[in-house]
Amino acid sequence: MTKREGIPMSSPRGWLALGIAIAAGCAGVSRSLVTPEVELVNLAVLGASTETQRFALTFLVSNTNAEALRVQEIRYSVRLAGQGYLNGRSSVPVTLAPTGRQTVRVELETDGVASLSTLLAFVQGPDNALAYELTGDLVLGTRPERLLPFTYNGEVPLNMTSRN
């Protein structure tokens, strides 16, 4: 048996110490987390060309857990009116307060939508709402990285802006 500094791993005390260390490392985030609800609450067109479109998306993230969650990034895929996908990720970490809600805004340039005129043909009602399907993962700022998958279907207003 070789012995390094500390407790030898061949002894029961060594295994107990390892188990305690692993448990302590996992104590930062509960295993019984409820995935926060993520919905798209605003979609703004920032610009469009014949090849690409620029959008600003605003997500509302609702944490129903009794503990704060540090979200390193939101990885998302939004299908708009069955006409194309907006795929991306947020770039700024956020901390969700226990039982709190927070908005997260991201900008995206994509060629994943056929055209802006095609999308406009699918807007409904006075809010110019578009049906959407949202899927993705909340990436928690833990070691090892922990993913909380989410899905949401709804309608979002399509806002036209002139920002370039």
pLDDT computed for residue 125 by the predictor: 84
> pLDDT category, 160, cuts 50, 70, 90?
confident
Is the pLDDT at 44 greater than 80, yes or no? yes
The first and second tokens of residue 137, run together, are: 């993962």
Is the pLDDT at 79 greater than 70, yes or no? yes
Mean pLDDT of 12-37: 61
CA 145 to CA 140: how far, in whole Å? 6
Mean pLDDT of 46-71: 94
pLDDT computed for residue 114 by the predictor: 73
> pLDDT category, 6, cuts 50, 70, 90?
low
For residue 20, give Cα distances in angstroms to 16, 17, 28.
6, 5, 14
Residue intervals of the chain classified under CATH 2.60.40.1820 are: 32-160
Is the pLDDT at 21 greater than 50, yes or no? no
Q: Tokens 């703004």 belong to which residue?
A: 44
Q: Tokens 């709402």 belong to which residue?
A: 129
> pLDDT category, 4, cuts 50, 70, 90?
very low
Q: Which CATH class is domain 32-160?
A: mainly beta
pLDDT computed for residue 164 by the predictor: 45
Stretch (H or E) spanning 118: helix 116-120
Is the pLDDT at 100 greater than 90, yes or no? yes
Angle at 91 between CA 90 and CA 94, to 5 degrees: 80
What distance, in Å, lies between the first and last C-alpha atoms of the chain? 69
Percent of the chain with pLDDT over 70: 79
* Average pLDDT along the chain: 84
Phi, psi dihedrals of residue 99, rounded to the nearest 5°: 50, 30
